[in-house]
Structure 1
Amino acid sequence: MEKPINSTDTDILMTAGTATKVTIYVIIMITGIIGNGMVFVAIGTFHTLRTVSNQFVLSLATADFTVSLVILPFSVQEAYYKAWYLGEILCRFWIAGDVLFVTISIFNLAAISIDRYRSIKNPLKYSLKRTNRMAYKQIAAAWLLSLLVGVPPFYFAAFHDGMCYLQLNPYFIIPATTIGFFLPLAVVLYTHTRIFGIAKKLATRVGQGPGTASEGTGSDPTRRQQSAVKRPTSLAVTKACDSRINDDAVSVAARPTPSGVQQPEFGKPITNKISVRRERKAARTVAIVIGVFTVCWMPFFVAISVASVCTSCDPQSFPLQVLTFMGYANSAANPIIYTIFNKEFRQAFGKILRLFCKTLDSLVLLKDKSVKPKKHHYGQRLKWDFNLQ
């Protein structure tokens, strides 16, 4: 006969569940703060990362950093106390801020996707418009449009019997999830489908190389002349589609012809193949960021949309809480993705960590009373030596 579960056993299980929930929140919070903080430092410190594309990455990191620093601490206290003790006003700000920064994230991903799509589709024309100022305008538009979805939850938040939650009103939830998630996600998926299609065509075209039978130039000088004029356009597209979530200037060198007409000069086939390969790697990195975001947030938005039209559904139910965990985890995921799949960010993060460790070691040595610094002059340089006594 099984032993019945008494109140003490139930309390232990509830305590274990609470501890697990709080621990997960804290891990996500710390990882998000450190990871996105390193994105700030990397882009601000390393010149190679100060590109137009990375302005969008910086905006995305800002939203994720704010979620980790501002939103998650409130989630930790609610998980720990199993109630909301901070009053109705903070409850409303917490709910609204949560919705706002998630919306900002998806709008930034849409902006990144559109930027990369335009860079590949019309590289020569778009490169003339593609400046930091243009990026700032698009980022500002993304943040302002997010307010349309992020402000209403301030009024739809419910504070009742010590609990803080978002009311599942279908007249708000359905339009909000459609505008704030499903429509921008559709834009993201469409643009990335087009990006990979164009990248595949470029890879095939460059893989054929100049002078192949597939180009059909034959021995006709006129056809060779036309081919020589047309080919740089596709090569310029390849060059414009630089990788690494970076952007290089689109430039095609010119050389004089016997007739005095300037004709584009293009590089070796191997260089063009490398450019296409880099662009495909860059597209893959962005696709992974978008894929992880979709996996983390899609279940939540589908569930909350269904729950809004379900009269018997509880907004505080366990499944919705688990899906909320997945969404919050996305705030810490992007820096990890950059580290794994982006060489420039990986190198920058490594240098930042090494510098931090060296600084920490120096501080430890300076605080150690057994270490006495001695000065040595070598020409115009001043060197410090630390000799252990």
Structure 2
Amino acid sequence: MQSNGTEEDLSNATVQMPGGQPGHNVAALVLGILLILFIICGNLLVCLSVCMERALKTTTNYFIVSLAVADLLLAILVLPLYVYSEFQGGVWSLSTVLCDALMTMDVMLCTASIFNLCAISVDRFIAVSVPLNYNRRQIDLRQIILISTTWIFAFAVASPVIFGLNNVPNRDPTSCRLEDNNYIIYSSICSFFIPCPVMLVLYCAMFQGLKRWEEARKAKLRSSMCAGNRTLYCPSPLFERNHMDIRLEERNLYNHSECSLPKGYMMNNGIQTVSYPHLKYTHPGHKQKQAKINGRERKAMKVLPVVVGVFLFCWTPFFVVHITGAICTTCTIPTKVTSIVTWLGYVNSALNPIIYTIFNAEFRNFFRKVLHFFC
């Protein structure tokens, strides 16, 4: 509709061009630039913190770096072109080849984010299910394979677009979108509707296993403390969990000084430290190996459900709308709804660094140091 030059028309964020053609969406440009800068700064800090801070060099955090890289690439390769298109009022004025590249990167990076979260759930499930065979000190071949597989599969899902799937007859060059409805259904199922339930099941199994393991460990500890002929007083202990050790305050531990310490107990600055022989195994010619889930890993396990929950909140509306439009070809989904759910999905890339800052002290301390350095 042609503008009549009133103040109401001039105050609108989207300026309408003569002939009813959409013009420049200033609000989309400003918000898009702010979102891009926030995603780049936040995820770059995540990558730097894991590279520079010794306390953050854990296997879980290497997966988080892979997730941050996917968000960084999204902000660098996808969002600028998407924001430009939104600024033009949703009209694509560039080449169709560039549009296909944009769609490919968009599908691949979104899929890589989901697959990275799924890989983290697999890695955490292995850490709880077979703790004695899990390497926690450095990334090993299993983690390298998992991370590499996420990116290979993500490219495999997205590659049909760059190889010409979008080149359909009577293609509208002013619209940049996925043109094949069958591919939209296929990519949505592979990228979201299969990995998400698998991920949730693995997390549920992981936390159930961790809960059972903690209960068995506490029961074993109390049994060993109260066993034998020792006159031992067993109060409700104060736990300081670190490296699968439980430290109990010396006060009220024994009711007379002649009580000997059970096997596996040591004195350390007035604190009784309990070790767990039942969680060790020995191979001939090798030292004992102890199953451990340290404090940092438990912190990581607590933050991961938040990351997954926020991801599902941000991306589920997009995929529901996306696949609904492909299945129900007669349904009319408003352009505004599509734009909102797409923006909501992209906002997720900016939220993960905030989540790490809130729930992880090591990330928070590093971010604070960097901000103080520049400010």
Specify the TM-score bucket, using the shorter chain as the normaliser. Answer: 0.7 to 0.9
- Of 312-321 and 138-147, deviating more is 312-321
Does residue 1:160 correspond to 2:172, yes or no? Answer: yes
Counterpart of 1:297 in structure 2 is 315
- Of 12-21 and 47-56, deviating more is 12-21
Does residue 1:150 correspond to 2:124, yes or no? Answer: no
Q: Which amino acid aligns with 1:312?
A: T
Counterpart of 2:285 in structure 1 is none
Does residue 1:64 correspond to 2:71, yes or no? Answer: yes
Counterpart of 1:80 in structure 2 is 87
Higher relative contact order (CA 8 A, sep 6+): 1
Distance between the aligned counterparts of 2:10 and 2:121, measured in 1? 49
Distance between the aligned counterparts of 1:276 and 1:51, measured in 2? 11
User: Do the aligned partners of 1:124 and 1:240 also contact (CA within 8 Å) in 2?
Assistant: no
Counterpart of 1:377 in structure 2 is none
Does residue 1:37 correspond to 2:51, yes or no? Answer: no
1:112 to 109, 116, 120: 120
Counterpart of 1:349 in structure 2 is 367
- Alignment CA distance shift 1:172-1:348 (3 Å): same
Per-residue CA distance 1:230-266 (angstroms, 9 max, x = gap): xxxxxxx98479xxxxxxxxxxxxxxxxxxxxx8779
Distance between the aligned counterparts of 1:354 and 1:318, measured in 2? 40
Counterpart of 2:198 in structure 1 is 187
- Alignment CA distance shift 1:35-1:348 (3 Å): same
Counterpart of 2:59 in structure 1 is 52
- Alignment CA distance shift 1:73-1:28 (3 Å): same
- Alignment CA distance shift 1:148-1:161 (3 Å): closer
Distance between the aligned counterparts of 2:138 and 2:128, measured in 1? 12
User: Do the aligned partners of 2:184 and 2:323 also contact (CA within 8 Å) in 1?
Assistant: yes
Per-residue CA distance 1:188-245 (angstroms, 9 max, x = gap): 1011111221232234344556234xx8986599xxxxxxxxxxxxxxx98479xxxx
- Alignment CA distance shift 1:129-1:41 (3 Å): closer
Per-residue CA distance 1:120-162 (angstroms, 9 max, x = gap): 1110022389734432222111101111211123334476252
Q: Secondary structure at the match of 2:176?
A: strand
Q: Which amino acid aligns with 2:66?
A: S
Distance between the aligned counterparts of 2:364 and 2:305, measured in 1? 18
Q: Which amino acid aligns with 1:45?
A: M
- Alignment CA distance shift 1:192-1:7 (3 Å): farther
- Alignment CA distance shift 1:111-1:276 (3 Å): same
- Alignment CA distance shift 1:307-1:264 (3 Å): farther
Distance between the aligned counterparts of 2:173 and 2:157, measured in 1? 26
Distance between the aligned counterparts of 1:305 and 1:202, measured in 2? 41
Q: Identity rate of aligned residues, in percent?
A: 31
Q: Secondary structure at the match of 1:211?
A: helix
User: Do the aligned partners of 2:59 and 2:136 also contact (CA within 8 Å) in 1?
Assistant: no
Counterpart of 1:103 in structure 2 is 111
Distance between the aligned counterparts of 2:100 and 2:293, measured in 1? 49
**RMSD between superposed Cα atoms in Å:** 3.4
> What is the total number of aligned residue pairs between the two structures?
313
Distance between the aligned counterparts of 2:331 and 2:32, measured in 1? 24
Q: Secondary structure at the match of 1:268?
A: strand
* Structure with a larger share of its residues in helix: 1
The runs of 5 or more residues in structure 2 that have no matched partner are: 16-23, 231-240, 246-262, 267-271, 277-291
Task: Quote how far apart the aligned CAs of 1:311 are.
Answer: 1.6
Q: Which amino acid aligns with 2:72?
A: F
Q: Secondary structure at the match of 1:160?
A: coil
The runs of 5 or more residues in structure 1 that have no matched partner are: 222-236, 242-262, 358-389
- Alignment CA distance shift 1:157-1:10 (3 Å): farther
- Alignment CA distance shift 1:156-1:316 (3 Å): farther
Does residue 1:13 correspond to 2:12, yes or no? Answer: yes
Distance between the aligned counterparts of 1:87 and 1:161, measured in 2? 8
Task: Quote how far apart the aligned CAs of 1:315 are.
Answer: 6.9
